[in-house]
Amino acid sequence: MRFELPALPYDRHSLEPHLSAAMVDAHYSGYHLACIQRLNTRLECLNPTADSLEELLDSTDDEIAYLAAEVWNHAFYWHCLTPWGNTTPAAELKADIDGAFGSLAGFHQAFKTSALAHIGSGWIWLIRNHDGQLTIITTNDGQAPLAQGIKPLIGIDLWEHAWYLDFQNNRDAYLDAISTLINWDFVTLNNG
């Protein structure tokens, strides 16, 4: 089994001026592709029987589980963003966001606060927890909530490779830029 770099759902320059084409290219053609190549190399060595990234998340081989999570997380991340303006959540999801965070602005603030509080590399997620409530969580390194049976609605990369080229040490500015690119149509599909 070999994994391929999935096509971006938009052109690399489409997220400008919020994320530069150079940043998207370095992240997508650099880091994301490297994770896929490393995963394929590791899979060739071990020849596991899993047929999907989702199955590999549970691998007993730590490197395979990590790389599968990073590959899955990145494919999900690219779809969480859209160049076509900040779409809005569907009515049911918007009501749940209002209930959990007070408003969409309250969600963005809580999301940013949690992301800034996260120490080191990782991801920030909007999930629907096992009780059905919307919750913001962060994961370390390449962990994926999907590995714990939690389907994410939004996943944003907090690793420096996601933002350093454009924002240097200013994660705050990266998060502000990302908040204008959230693909609420995709989030709504994940909520269904």
For the annotated binding site, the residues are 27, 74, 157, 161
Q: What DSSP assignment string belongs to 96-154?
A: HHHHHHSSHHHHHHHHHHHHHH--SSEEEEEEE-TTS-EEEEEEETT--GGGGT--EEE
169-184 burial code (b ≥16 CB/10 A, e <16): eebeebbebbbebbbb
Chain-centroid distance, C-alpha 37:
19
Distance CA 58, CA 101 (A): 32
- Binding-site members for Mn(2+) are 27, 74, 157, 161
Distance CA 44, CA 50 (A): 12
Q: Which residue has the tokens 């370095």?
A: 26
CB 140 within 8 A of CB 122: yes
Reference 31, options 183, 181, 164, 178; nearest CA is: 164
Reference 10, options 24, 29, 22, 23; nearest CA is: 24
